[in-house]
Amino acid sequence: MRIRRLSVLAVAAVAAFAMTACGGDSETPAGGSATTTAAPTFEAGTTMAKLSEAKKIKVGTKFDQPLFGLKPPSGDPEGFDTEIARIIASELGIPEDGIEWIETVSANREPFIEGGQVDIVVATYTINDTRKQKVDFAGPYYEAGQSIMVLESNNDINGPDDLAGKKVCSVEGSTPAKNMAEKYPQAQMQLTDAYSNCLEPLRQGQVDAVTTDNVILSGFVDQNAGEFKIVGEPFTKEPYGIGMKKGDDAFRTFINDTLEKAFEDGRWVQAWEDTAGAVLDTPEPPAVDRY
């Protein structure tokens, strides 16, 4: 948390310097300050205008995934996903306390978007065609891959082919669970609603493995030192997108533009380094898919 605050200050300092250096005195309004950013204006009637005027946004995210979205006992959730949401909110002129964090588990992301319980979902959410029938996605802003986690002491399971006949925990409504059913039907899947529910069964030997995205598993390995390990290489591609109501093309373009700006001006790398970067190498930004 302290690291994040410092980095935000550093970015603000750089921005203030840039404005002073490039703005010139003619661009500073009378009585204004060179460090005060004017509220952004958006075309009337757009989702951007609505959110920006209300100074509020409802963000669906995970509450139980270290590195990407983890809610501490008191306070707002933290992680790479929540930093991405904070970048989008700030681009809309919404202050930090205008973000309402709503827990989304894997299976309720599309229904929450469709029902308006959330404005956006940033929640390790893989972009795919099945989901695109119900919602739209900006991004990707990261690409993960499905992997397998076992007890540190396990030497039998080294990849998905070794899961035949084994008990494997994953989550309802997730792409890893779907992929197992389609490609590795001999694994005995045990599905729950959130990945953190798989940890105790793995410890107790009630399941042999947990499968989901590598970066989610890395968070659990890091959080539970010495207990678990990830085996083999990632065996799918999971491009993470920002879920939103289907058909809101202007909002999708705005978020894609925001992501590209953040890729270029260092905010995306900073978001990574302040969160997942504590454990994982810094990736290259992916190419945004403007479908």
* Residues contributing to the site for ligand GLU (CB under 6 A): 106, 123-126, 171, 174-176, 212-213, 216, 238
Max Cα–Cα distance, the chain, nearest Å: 73
Q: Does 77 sit behind a cis peptide bond, omega within 30 degrees of 0 on the bond before it?
A: no
Q: Report the residue number, 53 or 193, with the smaller CB distance to ligand GLU.
A: 193
Q: Report the residue number, 91 or 110, with the smaller CB distance to ligand GLU.
A: 110
Distance in Å, CB of 179 to ligand GLU, minimum: 9
Q: Report the residue number, 52 or 124, with the smaller CB distance to ligand GLU.
A: 124
Length of the chain: 291
Distance in Å, CB of 175 to ligand GLU, minimum: 4
Buried b (16+ CB within 10 A) or exposed e, 109-141: bbebbeeeebbbbbbbbbbeeebeeebbbbbbb
Distance of alpha carbon 46 from alpha carbon 150, whole angstroms: 47
Distance in Å, CB of 266 to ligand GLU, minimum: 26
Q: Report the residue number, 123 or 189, with the smaller CB distance to ligand GLU.
A: 123
Q: Report the residue number, 78 or 91, with the smaller CB distance to ligand GLU.
A: 78
Whether 235 and 146 have beta carbons less than 8 Å apart is answered as yes
- Give the Å distances, CA to CA, from 230 to 124, 154, 155, 211, 285: 18, 10, 11, 10, 24
